[in-house]
Amino acid sequence: MALLLVWAFQLMGQQTREPDYNKLDLALQKDFGDKFGFSILIADDNKVLFTKSYGHADTLKTKTVNQRTLFNIASISKSFTTIGIFCLIEQDTMKLTDTIGKFINNVPPDKSSITISHLLTHTSGFEQNYVCDGLENANEALTALLNDALSFPPGTGFTYSNQNFEMLAIIIEKATLATYEEFIRKKILIPLKMKDTYFWHEVKNNSNIAAKNKSFPGSMTQRNWGYIGSGGIYSNVSDLYEFIKAVIESRLISKSNTERLFKEYYRTASGLSIGYGWYINDTTEWNTREIWTRGNEDWGHNAVIRWFPGENKIIIVCTNSGEIGDKQITGNRIISNYIADFLWK
């Protein structure tokens, strides 16, 4: 009996032992190290377990990616906007059930029933028409949004659209009389000391940005509403870890509101649960529950934050891989799946 107990405790120790991250490092270098630039971070809820950068930050391959190299995190920006909205909810400035007409004048009849909740869950009826791209003025962006046709009555369907979060950013500005960037910096970036996180128009003279696969005209590097609220934020894996850790620990909003982020408000035909600014898979190929947010730009940058609460693991990946063969296949998906396979297969 004593021998059986000793064997059982030894087995438990083997099952809980952290994997050899040196093996992961060598495998990542071998399989991906020179294909594109990327940074990774693996953590539990309390500490970083492994983090490293690979590949080059420029097309000429003269600069290697480092831990402070900036990547555009694209639609992960929506998770920042969501926290900003919940900060206003906790200030009693708004409710999830408020319609947009509380903050915006002359809302047309087809959009009069759109609520804050509809915008957060992509159930407003807005389609992905990019109507705010290149617009510098908030009133012009608002007009474009209000004039765009809905694909279904609010609350009756789901269509992923940046326009939901651009509208939320406009509402933040209406409610606070500050710019979206000022408000998010005050509520998130400064408290979490995210010194390597910037907004779209702030990085023009920063030399430590991973290469893009196309150049932008000067007009596109200015502040514009195609990249406010819905995307446009630049960051790195270290700062993104500070963000997700603070979300998990309810340091940005209350515990009860944090829990609301991760509830299901709509389920797609594929079985994906839509939360507030986050997405939930009840099960994965690793037999885990997963909460995630990801983003991808067609000019190369992409990123993902994946939280596996049952396994107490966080995987963060930022890359400039671009689309690899298929529009849905990007470096952040390939690398984060590779890491999950290493951890659990």
CA distances from 218 to 23, 134, 215 (A): 44, 11, 9
Encode pLDDT of 312-341 as tens digits.
999 999 999 998 876 668 999 999 999 999
Among candidate residues 299, 266, 235, 214, the one with its CA nearest the CA of residue 77: 235
Q: pLDDT-derived band of residue 161, with 50, 70 and 90 as boundaries?
A: very high
Mean pLDDT across 83-98:
98
Sign of CA dihedral 285, 250, 197, 63: negative
Encode pLDDT of 5-17 as tens digits.
444 444 444 445 7
Tokens for 329, please give them. Answer: 């296949």
Least confident stretch, 1-5, 28-32, 51-55, 62-66: 1-5
Encode pLDDT of 245-256 as tens digits.
999 999 999 999
Q: pLDDT-derived band of residue 232, with 50, 70 and 90 as boundaries?
A: very high
Spatial distance between the Cα atoms of 144 and 323, rounded to a whole number of angstroms: 29
Neighbours of 23 (CB within 10 A): 10
Question: In terms of DSSP bridges, do strands 326-330 and 323-324 run parallel, antiparallel, or are they unpaired?
Answer: antiparallel
pLDDT at 287: 96
pLDDT at 2: 44
128 contacts 115 by C-beta, under 8 angstroms: no
Mean pLDDT across 189-197:
98
Structural domains of the chain in order of their starting residue, each with its CATH number: 20-344 (3.40.710.10)
Encode pLDDT of 283-302 as tens digits.
999 999 999 999 999 899 99
Neighbours of 243 (CB within 10 A): 24
Q: pLDDT-derived band of residue 204, with 50, 70 and 90 as boundaries?
A: confident
Among candidate residues 69, 47, 73, the one with its CA nearest the CA of residue 56: 69
Q: Is 229 exposed, middle or buried (0-12, 13-18, 19+ CB in 10 A)?
A: buried
Residue with tokens 């515990």: 255
Whole-number mean pLDDT of the chain? 93
pLDDT at 16: 57
Among candidate residues 76, 103, 75, 101, the one with its CA nearest the CA of residue 88: 103
Spatial distance between the Cα atoms of 289 and 273, rounded to a whole number of angstroms: 11
**Predicted model pTM:** 0.93
Encode pLDDT of 118-157 as tens digits.
999 999 999 999 999 999 999 999 999 999 999 999 999 9
48 contacts 55 by C-beta, under 8 angstroms: no
The rounded Cα 164 to chain-centroid distance in angstroms is 15
Spatial distance between the Cα atoms of 8 and 14, rounded to a whole number of angstroms: 10
**Percentage of residues of the chain with pLDDT beyond 70:** 94
Q: Is 187 exposed, middle or buried (0-12, 13-18, 19+ CB in 10 A)?
A: buried
pLDDT at 100: 98
Question: In terms of DSSP bridges, do strands 313-319 and 323-324 run parallel, antiparallel, or are they unpaired?
Answer: unpaired
